[in-house]
Structure formats: C-alpha cells, structure tokens
Amino acid sequence: MDEDQPASGSGGDRAPEPSGPGLWSLATLGLTAGVCLAIFVGGGIWLDSVTHRSPLFALVGVAVGIVSAVMVAYREIRPFL
C-alpha cells in the first residue's frame, strides 16, 4: 500500500456522522412545540371572545397547534432518521 493514501474505509477528511440530536436541539424542539401550541390556542381563545363561539376556535387552535408542532418536530428530527 502507498503511504500517501489512507487505508480504505478510513473515511479520509469526512466529519463523523451525528449519532443523534443534542441536548440543545431537544430543548429547542420542546420550546418550539410549546410556542406553536400557545400561539394557536391563544389565537383561538381570542377569536372565541370576539365571535362569542366559546369552544370552537380554541379547539381549532389546539388542532392546528398540534399539527404545526409535529411538522416542526419532523423537520428537526428528519436528519437523524
């Protein structure tokens, strides 16, 4: 084998593959999910108070908040799958 070339399978100059999300990524993910829910539920409660349709928009806000939180979580976790 030539001394100038690395052994096969050593990877050369490539950075190691990430093994999983770090603590900061997971904390950010939880905070983002909470903010998504808070914004949409808060907006639903506000719309309920304006339109006098008590649980309707709050429930819609919960559903939209959950969907948006799942979409954000999937986008963040996708590189590790």
pLDDT tens, position by position, for the chain (81 residues)? 555 655 555 555 666 666 777 888 888 888 999 999 999 999 999 999 999 988 999 999 999 999 999 999 899 888 888
In a domain, residue 65? The reply is yes
Count of the separate structural domains present in the chain: 1
Query: H or E stretch including 75?
Result: helix 56-77
In the DSSP assignment, the letter for residue 7 is P
Distance CA 48, CA 52 (A): 5
CA 17 to chain centre: 20
In a domain, residue 16? The reply is no
Distance CA 56, CA 50 (A): 12
Containing domain of residue 53, as a range? 23-80
Distance CA 36, CA 64 (A): 9
In a domain, residue 32? The reply is yes
In a domain, residue 55? The reply is yes
**Contact between residue 39 and residue 68 where contact means Cβ atoms under 8 Å apart:** no
**Contact between residue 41 and residue 57 where contact means Cβ atoms under 8 Å apart:** no
In a domain, residue 18? The reply is no
In a domain, residue 44? The reply is yes
Model-wide pTM > 0.75: no
